[in-house]
Amino acid sequence: MSESLKQTEDQTVTDRRSFLTVAALSAGVAGLAMAQQTAEPQAPTGLGPRAMVDNRFPVTYATSVPQGVNLLTQYFVAFSERNLKGIADLLHFPFATFEGTEAVTVQTPADLLAHPPASLNMSTDPARFTTNDGYLKPGAYDVLDGIEVLAYDPVLCGLSLRYNRYGSDGKKLHRCEGIYSITNNDGRWGIQMMSTIFTPAQMTGVVFTDTIEAAKRRIDHDLAYQVSDRSVDAPTGQLGRTAAVANQGGQPWTLGPAGRAMEQFKVKGVKSRLRVSEVTKESVAKIQPSADPVADYAGYRALFPKSGVGNWGWVYGELPETRVLHASFDKAHMFSGAIRFTVAGEEASYNTDLSVITYKKGHWGRAGTLAYTTPHDRSNDVLRG
């Protein structure tokens, strides 16, 4: 055997061993995740007394990431096999999906089987221009094009999935790009919410500049904290049916300083993490009157010295890694967040969110939130010395 062939064979063996090792480790992690899924997440060692749980602690990803990837893989297997019953077994109900610019909710597995949303409709003759419209051509098949983990905490994993659909003749029909929120509800992991964007093959690669710019612009929300006026924040949200996945117990940036950081990660007895709302101009006016007191903002600013990081200075609602994952002419999937700084310019904390931004009746606004997590909170460092 020549030296070059021997080196190639040795490398092949090495690569195979590496693959098997990684596979074994992955299986072990997945098994560990399965074993721990029914337990309440415990406060990690080293958590600051007034800090949020951030991604330095394995509790945020050791279970949620393997479960998220596993569930989404199973979902695509069932989907590619046109197995709607198999998909139903992987969802939490009520379940929400953005089939365009409006949130569609499905209350039960029976409802899904009887009236599947457009992106899950397996019929080749759907009811056109209804919430049960579909995109399936007889003989079409789907090809997985990628899964990405974007956000995670002890009870949630936010991911994206992309696939291409081909006709029976092998010609590409369109691309589907989606985002998914997978949560642990009462000990069971499942898909709580999703949103998809279908792009005809001929339009794949088109850059929707106006969509991207509008999705990233969060200045109204940021300015509300600077000027202590909730009415400034009113344009941030979208009107109509909106949906969000939210943890229990309150916002992380209020629970941490109160020493109750783990309350948002409750598992037992939590049947749903989905929040669906009908937002109208009237409902916005009721919760954000022009005479709203500034106490909410004063209380928010007071959280930061209480957490030991220093006085609050300002917030930037766009991370350096902010990106519009997928876009069409009237909808965007965005991975972003906000960084909070002290008056001295030091980072206090930052969050990430996975959102649906839509365009309706001349207005761009946030219509859905699939994940809201805290990758870093400096309170964990400051208060530990």
Looking at the structure, tell me whether residues 220 and 366 fall in a common domain.
yes
Q: What is the pLDDT of residue 137?
A: 86
The whole-number average pLDDT for the span 75-102 is: 97
Looking at the structure, tell me whether residues 230 and 141 fall in a common domain.
no
Tell me which of 234-248, 285-299, 315-329 is least confident: 285-299
pLDDT tens-digit readout, 142-152: 999 999 999 99
pLDDT tens-digit readout, 85-98: 999 999 999 999 99
Specify if 43 maps to a domain.
Answer: no
Specify if 292 maps to a domain.
Answer: yes
The whole-number average pLDDT for the span 60-75 is: 98
Looking at the structure, tell me whether residues 263 and 195 fall in a common domain.
no
Alpha-helical runs (H) found in the chain: 3-36, 64-80, 84-88, 109-114, 209-216, 219-227, 252-255, 281-287, 295-307, 379-382
Looking at the structure, tell me whether residues 358 and 236 fall in a common domain.
yes
Domain range for 183: 52-203
Distance separating alpha carbons of residues 75 and 159, to the nearest angstrom: 12
Looking at the structure, tell me whether residues 199 and 248 fall in a common domain.
no
Paired strand residues for 200: 174
Task: Among 203, 235, 263, identify where a domain stops.
Answer: 203
pLDDT tens-digit readout, 227-265: 888 778 878 899 999 999 998 888 898 899 999 999 999
Find out whether 175 and 164 touch, Cβ atoms under 8 Å.
yes
Q: How many residues does the chain have?
A: 385
The whole-number average pLDDT for the span 314-320 is: 91
pLDDT confidence tier of residue 37, bands split at 50, 70 and 90: low
Tokens of 335: 């991975």
Looking at the structure, tell me whether residues 10 and 80 fall in a common domain.
no
Task: Report the percentage of the chain scoring pLDDT > 90.
Answer: 68
Specify if 42 maps to a domain.
Answer: no
Distance separating alpha carbons of residues 23 and 29, to the nearest angstrom: 10
Specify if 185 maps to a domain.
Answer: yes
Distance separating alpha carbons of residues 382 and 385, to the nearest angstrom: 5
Higher local confidence (pLDDT), 45 or 294:
45
Looking at the structure, tell me whether residues 165 and 218 fall in a common domain.
no
Specify if 45 maps to a domain.
Answer: no
Looking at the structure, tell me whether residues 215 and 321 fall in a common domain.
yes
Domain count within the chain: 3
Q: What's the CATH number where 61 sits?
A: 3.10.450.50
Q: What is the pLDDT of residue 377?
A: 97
Looking at the structure, tell me whether residues 195 and 268 fall in a common domain.
no
pLDDT confidence tier of residue 16, bands split at 50, 70 and 90: very low
Specify if 378 maps to a domain.
Answer: yes
Distance separating alpha carbons of residues 14 and 339, to the nearest angstrom: 44
Specify if 46 maps to a domain.
Answer: no
Looking at the structure, tell me whether residues 258 and 335 fall in a common domain.
yes
Is it the case that residue 120 has pLDDT exceeding 60? yes
Higher local confidence (pLDDT), 288 or 335:
335
Looking at the structure, tell me whether residues 189 and 244 fall in a common domain.
no
Looking at the structure, tell me whether residues 78 and 182 fall in a common domain.
yes
Task: Among 179, 203, 227, identify where a domain stops.
Answer: 203
pLDDT confidence tier of residue 5, bands split at 50, 70 and 90: very low
Task: Among 187, 203, 219, identify where a domain stops.
Answer: 203
Is it the case that residue 33 has pLDDT exceeding 50? no
**H/E stretch holding 183:** strand 172-185
Pairing of strands 363-377, 240-245: parallel
Specify if 360 maps to a domain.
Answer: yes
Q: What's the CATH number where 360 sits?
A: 3.10.450
Q: Residue 116: is it exposed, middle or buried by C-beta count within 10 angstroms (0-12/13-18/19+)?
A: buried
